[in-house]
Amino acid sequence: MKVLSLYVENDTPVHKLAPSTKLWYAFSSVIIAFLFSSLWIGAVLLSISLLLSLVAKVFRHMLKLIGAVLIVSLTMLFIQGMYYQGNETLVFSLWKFHFYKEGLIHALLLILRVFNMIVSFGILILTTKPSDLVTDLVQNGLSPRFGYVLSSVLQVIPQMISTSYTIIDAQKSRGLDTEGSVLKKLRAFFALIGPLVLSSLVEARERAVAIELRGFSIEGTRTFVNPVVESHADRWIKMFTKTLVIFAIAWRGLLWIIQR
């Protein structure tokens, strides 16, 4: 069975990093962004992640991920700008809608955090094969069962998209009209849901049987066909990101004590 994922194959320095290194970077970037209510820090973290996506040659794919939440972000800016609890300073008005400085700043902070989360984890997903990520995590002590669940989660969306296209083509060949009015599209959508869910359940069952036949539940030390080997760059990046997170938590704790 062909393995589907969001992975974009390239030969870049980011692709060559160990999956756990990119995972550490994503976690540290998100943690630091949420620890500090600073637009400047959020903008710097997002800029670094976007720069890494350029280096990894996945910037175009990253824009698609950002575009998926763009409407939600604009809605957040609209609502927070008008109804944020701490609104005091009026910035501008559009007809009956009044936008305040405090709400707009808070909305921008939330948007930066969301974008930073999407881009930092997008780098991990777009530059890492699911099998390599799971192998690296299992090598570092993760339960193989949880690793299998993680691998399935990373592949479920691309797999369902591919299956939906196949089902739609089959339904069109049988005369189902999927174009036209909203009612026709809604009818086609409901006709798609049943086969899509059933095929997903069948694939999950087949995969479970296949891995059990290969001794997935056997206890004992496991070996790997393609083990992940960390480079000096991986170790330095992990050390740097861990240090940054510890420093950020300590600094945030100190600020909290001072403010009390």
pLDDT in tens, 230-255: 899 999 999 999 999 999 999 988 98
Residue 40 predicted with pLDDT over 90: yes
Report the C-alpha gap between 36 and 21 in whole angstroms.
23
Q: Where does the chain show beta strands of DSSP type E?
A: 90-94, 97-100
pLDDT in tens, 128-162: 988 888 888 888 887 777 777 777 777 676 777 77
Residue 131 belongs to domain spanning: 13-218+231-253
pLDDT in tens, 159-209: 777 777 777 777 777 776 666 666 766 776 777 777 777 877 777 777 777
3-state secondary structure string across 89-108: CEEEEECCEEEEHHHHHHHH
Mean pLDDT of 54-74: 89
Q: What is the pTM of this model?
A: 0.77
Q: Is the residue at 93 inside a domain?
A: yes
Q: Is the residue at 193 inside a domain?
A: yes
Three-state secondary-structure class, residue 66 = helix
Please give the full DSSP string across 118-142, using - where no structure is assigned: HHHHHHHHHHS-HHHHHHHHHHTT-
Place of tokens 């944020």: 84
Q: Is the residue at 6 inside a domain?
A: no
Structural domain count of the chain: 1
Closest CA to 3 of 170, 132, 118, 139: 132
Q: Is the residue at 123 inside a domain?
A: yes
Structure-token pair, residue 124: 């991990």
Tell me phi and psi for residue 100, to 5 degrees. -115, 150
